[in-house]
Amino acid sequence: MNKLKILILCTGNSCRSQMAHGFLQSFDKDLYIRSAGTEATGKLNDKAVAVMQESGIDISHHTSDQVDQYLNDTWDYVITVCGDANEICPAFSGKVKHRLHIGFEDPSLVHGTDEFIMNEFRRTRDEIRNSFYQIYIEQIKPKSLFHEKTKKTNRFF
């Protein structure tokens, strides 16, 4: 497999990292994307699944994975999406080309009416979509195109 490999890391891997995974994959189906958590919950947050569905992206088939299963892999990018994961992110010593951190508030910690909570999930979803689209356009897509061009050029050698 010669695709650009991206790992999105969070604490619980049930909400923010899952949304980021869904958006990034929707921007480019040819990317190899996984998401994981330092303390993965084992299930997705139902509200995260619902607000992503509102955007036309189905993440209900995603799994909530422990980061341990990805520690020995080589990644082009590891992107952390919450403060906790950025502080306790496992050492990927030498197996990551680019490490980025973009912090988002955890909407699953919000209290209030159902309407208020869902609006916070939507706000976070929209922030994630906008931030990851910018990263995709400015950093990932150019490397992906270079990666694809190199792959085509190298097949003759």
Q: Mind giving me the DSSP string for 56-105?
A: T---TT----BGGGGTTS-EEEEEE-SHHHHHHPPP-TTSEEEEEE----
Q: What does the pLDDT read at residue 83?
A: 67
Given the residues 8, 9, 10, 140, the one annotated as active site: 10
The active-site residue out of 3, 41, 65, 89 is 89
Model confidence pLDDT, tens digit, residues 87-104: 555 545 458 899 998 989
Q: Is 15 one of the catalytic residues?
A: no
User: Any idea where the domains of the chain sit in the sequence?
Assistant: 5-154
The one catalytic residue in 15, 78, 82, 140 is 82
Domain 5-154 belongs to what architecture? 3-Layer(aba) Sandwich (3.40)
Is-catalytic flag, 10? yes
pLDDT tens sequence across 48-84: 999 999 999 999 999 999 998 998 899 999 999 986 6
3-state DSSP percent of the chain in helix, strand and coil, to 5: 50, 15, 35
**Spatial separation of the C-alpha atoms in residues 136 and 95, rounded to whole Å:** 21
Residue 113, SS3?
coil
